[in-house]
Structure 1
Amino acid sequence: MKIAFDAKRFFHNTSGLGNYSRDLVRILSQYYPENEYILLNKNRSERGKEILERQDVRFVETSKGKFSRQLKMGKDAQREGADIFHGLSGELPLKWSKEPIRKIVTIHDLIFMRCPNYYSFFDRKIHLWKFKKAASSADKIIAISEQTKRDIITYLKVPESKIEVIYQGCHKAFKEHQSNELINTVKEKFNLPERYILNVGTIEERKNLLSIVKGIKDTEIPLVVVGRKTDYYKKVLAFIRKNKIDKQVLFLEGVSMDELAVLYKSADIFVYPSFFEGFGIPVIEALFSKTVVITSNTSCLPEAGGKDSVYIDPRNDLDLGAKIRFLWENESERKRRAEKSFTFVQKFNDEPIAAQLMNLYKKIL
């Protein structure tokens, strides 16, 4: 079987969609090396180069020309003799030749419909048009959570029978054992406090970092934040400075995946009070790291967190603060929840996810 992928995100996104794309190709190649996996894009990068070194994975340069991703990538896949084309980020090419090929698209979320205030009018219209086109031309749609499946049915008017829920996993670094040498190096490099709570994700309004900062005000609990800064960061920083808790909050950027794994495993609590997510990969990363999670009781986050994570209303700073303090002061409760959650999170391991993907590919053929 030949499977072609739109590899734009594979090569050029450092987080989110890029991690999903790289992990998906990696696990398919690992567990089903008898197939051929074709990565289509106008260029390649250093990202994912270890995956491209596998015999069953190869890069194909998309035909030159304007809008080649939309107008030529599909025909390129057909020219390569691909049986299936998989769009990994909510889009499919618009043009195809007469050669037979089956089409799958992964839709991660419809946040631009759920939370329109975070997007411009123009962006919402473009996203909706692209997603509707892809959903219409696909033979099957992969939703990465039950929440996303419900949103696809509601907003894109797609029949339930066309949608398959296949969860995503996370990078292998969070499942590996990091050496004491690396752990000590990371602690020294970032000057980490002895104990801390952790938040990971783009520093934007939807992720709701300000609620965590409000929750630890009037405590001595250190907070480590890993994520790219947006304009929202200024709002968070203003609150930190006004309340004189600068020494309590540490912002990190440019963290490698292995370093991030150490940060998760060394944290006492992972806190993720997002208003809305398509899935919430950082929650899975924390659970694989055996770190207890506090997250929102909204969207898909209870799907990712399981019954032993701690849930809060993301609009209730007092509730969040109380639950942070409770877990911070109760080591046995942290360990109990972390151990039970580690058992739960095994459903997001590579092998079962790869098997679900392969079963879907075989089914549409």
Structure 2
Amino acid sequence: MKAESETQTQKAESTELDQSSFGLSALSFKLKIGFDGKRAANNLTGLGNYSRSLIEQLALQFPDNQYLVYTPKVKAAKQIDAFFEQPNIELKLPKTGPFLWRSLNILKDLNQDAVQIFHGLSHEIPLAIQHTHIKSVVTIHDLIFLRFPQYYKFIDRKLYEWKSRSACERADQIIAISEKTKADIVELYGINPAKITVIYQSCDDSFKSPFAKENLSRIKATYKLPDKFILSVGTIEARKNLKLVVQALKEVNEAYKLVVIGKRTPYFKTVEQEIEQLGLKNRILFLQNIPFADLPGIYQMADVFAYPSFYEGFGIPIIEALYSAIPVVAATGSCLEEAGGPNSLYVSPNDAGALAKAINRIIESPQLQKEMKEKGLEFVQKFNSPVVTQQLMDCYLNMFSQ
């Protein structure tokens, strides 16, 4: 009986091993997943938020796995400290020194830690990882530096292209954050589309619940927000096209002001000149360094969200607006229709008149506002964290069956 019991145990262990080898069950074994954590450990916006959110959601939804975050250094900040305090997320610093670590020497650490999957969260993976047993994934957010090279320095553009093209060619799997980005990878890098999985991004969960009235009142008073306003969020750079929103504002109902949240670049001077020329200084409020905890509240008090960017990889601010039940007007020409869905409005990024007309159409029609809010909120559920996190785990597991 003892021998029979041992045989049954061995069979069970063998079955579990077979399943883990071919990715047949997320619950039959534990994964060790490594991440390029440079952004997660050092950036407080953009790719930093994306990286932390992705890893946090995996850790929450699939807590039996180990999530190892590799970074040469760590920024001191509450968001980052809280991220690394989670029990199944582990900070991994260089064992051999930082020199060439992210691009090459990290492979020694990954092997010593018995990592099964390494995920490069922003356009790059270690050199020569394709010659190891470690499965590799790279996320490509956009190829804007090739579509709009004029926005980038020559050396930066060439470096971005080399890193991302090399990663796409060497990775076992590519994750594109939109169908538009996937199409760009296929067209510009000649990658087989079968190697690319589209997994959309979500936004921070704080945007998904209404704030209490008391909190909204505090936020409104703190930032001296107007009673009625159009909201624009994003770095103030030429590609984001804030100048078009300013030009459109001239033709929008004067009861509505414009609130702009974003880091300033030299392009800000161009916007300032347009504001001065159109006499709109008293109708525009610029905010910087807004605490992330207050940002959803500002969204929730807006009447319209305007995002006429010339080109995006996806458009997280649109997702934030839809979750905040705010009507969206965005630009045609890239992937913003994917983010905003069929019930947002879209205009040419070169047509200020069309943008003004779309904004006026919304603010003049309570029925349209109601429809856009309800249908937008319904549409944005496809980007909810549990949905995209499950898609990501499926992508990881499918690599073992290939």
TM-score using structure 1 length: 0.97
**How far has the Cα of 1:99 moved from its partner?**
5.0
Deviations along 1:205-240, one digit per CA (max 9) or x if unpaired, are 000000000001154120000000001111001111
Shift of 1:93: 1.1
2:191 corresponds to: 158
Q: CA deviation at 1:95?
A: 4.2
After superposing the two structures, state which structure 1 stretch, 96-105 or 208-217, moved more. Answer: 96-105
| Equivalent residues of 2:303, 2:326 under 8 A apart | yes
The residue identity in structure 2 corresponding to 1:3 is I
Determine the structure 2 residue equivalent to 1:32.
Answer: 62
Per-residue deviation at 1:327?
1.1
User: Which among 228, 237, 242 is matched to residue 209 of structure 1?
Assistant: 242
Measure, in 2, the Cα distance between the counterparts of 1:215 and 1:99: 54
Work out whether 1:335 is the aligned partner of 2:367: no
Matches of 2:291 and 2:247, distance apart in 1 = 28
Q: Which residue of 1 aligns with 2:316?
A: 281
The answer as to whether partners of 2:210 and 2:324 remain within 8 angstroms in 1 is no
C-alpha separation between the residues in 2 aligned to 1:230 and 1:74?
37
CA RMSD for the aligned pairs?
1.3
Partner of 2:171: 138
Question: What is the alpha-carbon distance in structure 1 between the residues aligned to residue 365 and residue 297 of structure 2?
Answer: 22
Q: Residue type of the partner of 1:37?
A: Y
| Secondary structure class of the residue paired with 1:27 | helix
Deviates most, 189-198 or 321-330: 321-330
**Alignment length, in residue pairs?**
365
Alpha-carbon offset, residue 49 of structure 1: 2.5
Query: Percent identity of the aligned residues?
Result: 41
**Deviant stretches of 4+, over 4 Å:** 95-99
* Distance across 2 between alignment mates of 1:53 and 1:97: 32
The answer to whether 1:262 aligns with 2:313 is no
In 2, are the aligned partners of 1:10 and 1:18 still within 8 Å (CA)?
Answer: yes
Give the gaps of 5 or more residues in structure 1: none
Ranges in structure 2 where 5+ consecutive residues have no aligned partner: 1-30
* Maintained 8 Å contact 2:178/2:335: yes
When residues 64 and 327 of structure 1 are mapped into structure 2, their CA distance, relative to the original with a 3 A threshold, is same
* Pair member with larger Rg: 2
For residues 134-283 of structure 1, the aligned pairs below 5 Å read 134-219=167-252, 220=254, 221-283=256-318
Residue matched to 2:147: 114
Aligned to 1:19: 49
Aligned to 1:351: 386
Distance 1:98 1:215, change over 3 A: closer
Deviations 1:166-204 (A, max 9, x none): 001001110123222221111011000011000000000
Task: Confirm whether residue 71 of structure 1 aligns to residue 101 of structure 2.
Answer: no
Which amino acid counterpart does residue 184 of structure 2 have in structure 1? D
Quick check: 1:132–1:156 contact (8 Å CA) kept in 2?
yes
The letter for the 1-side match of 2:336 is L
Please name the residue that 1:126 is paired with.
159
CA contact (8 A) 2:251 2:356 kept: no
Contact map agreement 1:78 1:97 (CA 8 A) in 2: no
Distance 1:92 1:201 in 2: 27
| C-alpha distance in structure 1 between counterparts of 2:186 and 2:130, whole Å | 29
CA distance in 2, matches of 1:90, 1:118: 18
Q: Which residue does the alignment assign to 1:55?
A: 87
One-letter identity of the residue aligned with 2:328: V
Give the distance between the partners of 2:73 and 2:374, measured in 1 at CA. Answer: 43
Q: Secondary structure at the match of 2:232?
A: strand
Deviation at 1:329, TM superposition (A): 1.8
Q: Distance in 1 between matches of 2:50 and 2:133?
A: 27
Instruction: Give the superposition deviation at 1:3.
Output: 0.3
Q: How far apart are residue 44 of structure 1 and its match?
A: 1.8
Whole-Å Cα distance in 2 between the matches of residues 181 and 50 of structure 1? Answer: 26
TM-fit CA distance, 1:39: 0.5
Which is further off, 23-32 or 6-15? 6-15
Alignment partners' CA distance in 1, 2:251 and 2:365: 19
Bigger shift: residues 179-188 or 290-299 = 179-188
Alignment deviations for residues 36-93 of structure 1 (CA, whole Å, 9 cap, x no partner): 0001001223233323222111101023142221122233222211100000000011
